[in-house]
Amino acid sequence: MTIFYPVPESMWGVRARFIQIINTAHALAKAGAAVKLITGRPGQPSQLGGLTQEDALLSHYGLSRHPNLEIVFLPMIRKAEGRWAVPFSIGMVFNAALLWYLFRQNKKDSVIFVRHLKTAQFLLRLRRLHRIPLVFEAHEIFHLTTEKTRKRQRMNRQERNVYTAAGAIIAITGRLRADIVTMFSLEGIPSITIPDAVRGDIFEIALPYEQSRRRYIFYAGGFYRWKGIDLLIEAMGRLPGETLVVAGGGPGLKRLNELRELAASMGLAGRVNFVGQLSHTDVLKYMREAKIAVVPNLAESVSLYSSPLKMFEYMALNCPIAASDIPGVREILTGGKDAVFFTPGDVQSLVAALRTLIDNPEAAGKIAAAGQELAKNFTYEKRAERIIDFLGITFYN
């Protein structure tokens, strides 16, 4: 089977979706598929450190070449600061190059695997030209993330066009899959739930859980409000003597300054440490020394369908987890067994969950061990096997 995996972005960065995409592609290759990861060029030559573009991109994510994985770099135009740099859609150049690339490929036992809505819509409209079936990997319901009426209507139409025309759908949570099937009347279209995952080699760097050697409460991820980082900072005001380390960023410097000002206004500037957007390797180093890792998502917007990538890494690295009781988390974790849940958006409930783990180190260690054992069921290798089985049954059985 050949899997064409288009990504209409330059993957030179530390965003969670890039980590998921490249590790999924690499695992699919290891599982026996011929994978063509099609993306924008990774950066300027000075960023490549003398390596080829392919080796530089793989190295950036701690991966090495695999004979079944080919990374195809297509031209793309990036958005300039302020006004548009060109008088046409930025995605047009990449999409045109992508269509020409697919047109020239061998179509036998092939499938397009894509998670970008606009790219999926473009390819489905012109499928008579490339003649390759398409599976869409859903991570959210886009039209529910905006309050602007016209944009909401436009995105709803885009989603309906993609979901009803796609050959199959993979959703990262069961709640997301069920809502998509119901909302867009997709009972006749093959679909499956395949959650996010963690790399198998991450287990090898995990440390034994000894709370006396763990130094801080830890959060890694974006600073979007629905991520719940404001709530976590507020909770720190009720946990004297504890330190919070925050790794990540987005959606901009203004947001980071807001969070710093919040911490300062509560007298927490010395106990809330923002370490910035780090390489994936450095984030893992921070994770392995955390006494508690937190998933503080609010029960709204994208959060309702989220399968937090960092959650699986926390589990693999033997970190006890305090997690917001949202659907995508509850589908994986069990409160009291491999996590301590708290009510989304409730600072008092979050403080109680953190205090439970801080005050009961033996129980925290058992929760960490149970989470690590559970994570073995959610490696990228197992994720790839499920994807390949589903694609084979859906398209080529």
Task: Map out the domains of the chain with their CATH numbers.
Answer: 2-197+379-396 (3.40.50.2000), 200-375 (3.40.50.2000)
Report the predicted TM-score, pTM, of the whole model to 2 decimal places.
0.92
How long a stretch of residues is the chain? Answer: 397
Measuring CA to CA, which residue among 136, 75, 118 is closest to residue 100? 75
CA angle 101, 106, 108 (to 5 degrees): 135
- For 203-216, letters b (16+ CB in 10 Å) and e give beebeebebeebeb
Q: How far is CA 78 from CA 41, 45, 94, 342, in A?
A: 11, 17, 10, 41
Contact predicate 337/318, CB 8 Å: no
Token pair recorded at residue 31:
């599982």
CA–CA gap between residue 135 and residue 113 (Å, rounded): 5
Mind listing the pLDDT tens digit of every residue in the chain (397 residues)?
A: 999 999 999 888 778 899 999 999 999 999 999 999 999 875 555 556 678 889 989 988 989 999 999 999 998 876 554 454 455 556 788 999 999 999 999 888 999 999 999 999 999 999 999 999 999 999 999 998 888 899 999 999 999 999 999 999 999 999 999 999 999 999 989 999 999 999 999 999 999 999 888 999 999 999 999 999 999 999 999 999 999 999 998 788 899 999 999 999 999 999 999 999 888 889 999 999 999 999 999 998 788 898 899 999 999 999 999 999 999 999 999 999 999 999 999 999 999 999 999 999 999 999 999 999 999 999 999 999 999 999 999 998 7
Cβ–Cβ under 8 Å, residues 167 and 395: yes
